[in-house]
Amino acid sequence: MQNAEKKVLGVSSEEVKIESYRLKGGEHGPISSLKELDEYEGELLAAGIDPEEKGRSGSFLQQDHSVVFAKSLIPGLEILSTEEAIKKHSWLDEYLWNIVPADKDIYTKEVAERPTQGYFLRAEKGTKITLPLQSCLFISKDKIRQNVHNIVIAEENSELNIITGCTVAHTVSEALHLGISEFYVKKNAKITFTMVHNWSGGVDVRPRSATLIEDNGVFISNYIFMTPVKSLQMYPTAICAGENSRASFQSIIYAHGNTNIDSGSRIVLQGKGSRGEIISRAIATDDARIIAKGDLVGEAENVRGHLECRGLMLSDSSMIESIPELKARRKNIDLSHEAAVGKIAEEEIRYLMARGFTEDEAVGMIIRGFLSIDIKGLPEGLARETKKMFDMTLEKVM
């Protein structure tokens, strides 16, 4: 496993030289409107951020090392920088480094020792906020390292819908993004987290995230990746600790250029009757390399989990490794997986051409279709936004 990772990524995850990226020179003053960042409008839009804040319940924007904008538009919704939240809520200690261990690896250690902000998002008890909030972690300075620590809490009976974008200015040739995220879904609460990564070919990315879900809680994660990256390695974990809790990960990955991605999702089913679903679609073209992992762990009675990985190869110099894992630790359990990697079937292209589409149009339709997984459980507005983001990024790469 370790060997495979090394071989694939060329640079193994342990080999990103953290010190070669700087911690200084990433400070910015606050802004009073997202529109002030008009020179980066393209970058923000590509990450799902609407500078006008239309149809949003609030916004958060961190530029390099500074939180330049954090505003909630709805009572019961808190949007703060992590630093401020720690000052405000003394109880937050229990949430920091609780489900992501600080000593997990060199990246968590780095963020624990030298944090540079991050977001704190919280829906108060009973507050259902279906309007999405938008958060953005933005790198605008070259050769910088961003060490963010994010905390997201949906208190009991609350709902939180988040569009989050990680994006980088076109002028940045190299950078490192380390992102720790800890999500807490309390009893009967729900978090929908839609994340767009809009990196560029010189950026190393190491997110480390975990979610803890209590009784009847629901966590839905949608992930969209369509621009190149130097290397990305992540394995977000959702722990369905509560009875009848639910977790779902859906990811869409279109890797081109020299992109190296080692990405997976893990769901640990610890609560009686909990359910988990992992769906991923990965396309590799040019010299891109993708490892698509999925891990379902069943540790309680009557749990059910399904994992579906599909990969599409568009070039002979790209690579996809699909690694689904199922781990059952009880007898009354139902875990399943399906994985498939292939190329676009010639007969599908011919069929569409026989309807008058050109070969390029046909290929485009098939790729678009392959990537368009049904995004379930999203409020209408968020579903529309997600589709818009998806269409926009796809438009750009094809």
Partner 1 sequence: MLEIQNLSVEVGGKRILNDLNLHIGEGEVHVLFGANGSGKTTLFLTILGFPGYNVVEGKIYFKGVDITEFNTTDRVKLGMGVSFQHPPEIRGVKLGDVVEQLLERRGGGDAKALARKLNLSEEFLSRDLNLGFSGGEVKRSEILQLLAQNPDFFMFDEPDSGVDVENVELLGKITNEMLERDRRPSERQKSALIISHIGYILNYIKADRAHVLLDGRIACSGITEEIYNHILNEGFEGCVAKCGKEGVRCEF
**66-72 β-sheet, strand order:** 66-72, 58-63, 128-139, 159-168, 190-198, 218-225, 246-255, 275-284, 303-313, 333-342
Pairing label, strands 77-81, 119-123: antiparallel
Whether the Cβ atoms of residue 268 and residue 298 lie closer than 8 Å to each other: no
Whether the Cβ atoms of residue 381 and residue 55 lie closer than 8 Å to each other: yes
Phi, psi of 122 (to 5 degrees): -150, 135
Binders of partner 1 among 298-317, rule CB under 8 A? none
Stretch of 47-55, 127-135, 238-246, 345-353 contacting partner 1, by CB under 8 A: 345-353
Binding partner 1 (rule: CB under 8 A), the pick from 75, 316, 369, 380 is: 369
* Closest among 398, 395, 370, 383 to 163, alpha carbons compared: 383
Nearer to partner 1, 1 or 354 (CB): 354
- How many whole angstroms separate alpha carbon 285 and alpha carbon 170? 22
Whether the Cβ atoms of residue 291 and residue 280 lie closer than 8 Å to each other: no
Whether the Cβ atoms of residue 208 and residue 180 lie closer than 8 Å to each other: yes
User: Does position 368 bind partner 1 by CB under 8 A?
Assistant: yes
Binding partner 1 (rule: CB under 8 A), the pick from 106, 366, 383, 392 is: 366
Stretch of 60-68, 219-227, 261-269, 349-357 contacting partner 1, by CB under 8 A: 349-357
Q: What token pair was written down for 295?
A: 């891990």
Binding partner 1 (rule: CB under 8 A), the pick from 357, 379, 381, 383 is: 357
The label of the residue with tokens 């992540």 reads 234
User: Does position 354 bind partner 1 by CB under 8 A?
Assistant: yes
- How many whole angstroms separate alpha carbon 293 and alpha carbon 4? 12
- How many whole angstroms separate alpha carbon 225 and alpha carbon 199? 9
Residue 313 CB, shortest distance to partner 1, in Å, is 15
Stretch of 25-33, 43-51, 156-164, 357-365 contacting partner 1, by CB under 8 A: 357-365
User: Does position 339 bind partner 1 by CB under 8 A?
Assistant: no
Binding partner 1 (rule: CB under 8 A), the pick from 365, 383, 392, 397 is: 365
* Closest among 139, 282, 260 to 201, alpha carbons compared: 260
Whether the Cβ atoms of residue 381 and residue 40 lie closer than 8 Å to each other: no
Nearer to partner 1, 74 or 373 (CB): 373
Residue 342 CB, shortest distance to partner 1, in Å, is 11
* For the chain, counts of helices (H) and of strands (E): 7, 20
Binding partner 1 (rule: CB under 8 A), the pick from 17, 24, 54, 355 is: 355
Binding partner 1 (rule: CB under 8 A), the pick from 5, 50, 325, 348 is: 348
Residue 100 CB, shortest distance to partner 1, in Å, is 34
Residue 176 CB, shortest distance to partner 1, in Å, is 35
Residue 351 CB, shortest distance to partner 1, in Å, is 5
Total residues binding partner 1 (CB under 8 A):
21
String of b and e for 97-131 (b: at least 16 CB within 10 Å)?
bebbeeeeeebbebbbeebbbbbbbbbbeebebee
Binding partner 1 (rule: CB under 8 A), the pick from 352, 375, 382, 389 is: 352
Whether the Cβ atoms of residue 196 and residue 224 lie closer than 8 Å to each other: yes
Residues 6 or more apart whose CB falls under 8 angstroms from that of 354 comprise none
User: Does position 383 bind partner 1 by CB under 8 A?
Assistant: no
DSSP code for 124: P
Residue 370 CB, shortest distance to partner 1, in Å, is 5
User: Does position 39 bind partner 1 by CB under 8 A?
Assistant: no
Binding partner 1 (rule: CB under 8 A), the pick from 88, 334, 358, 384 is: 358
Nearer to partner 1, 106 or 339 (CB): 339
Nearer to partner 1, 172 or 371 (CB): 371
Residue 340 CB, shortest distance to partner 1, in Å, is 10
Binding partner 1 (rule: CB under 8 A), the pick from 19, 316, 347, 380 is: 347
Binding partner 1 (rule: CB under 8 A), the pick from 372, 377, 392, 397 is: 372
Binders of partner 1 among 76-135, rule CB under 8 A? none
Residues of this chain that interact with partner 1 (CB under 8 A) are: 345, 347-348, 350-359, 365-366, 368-373
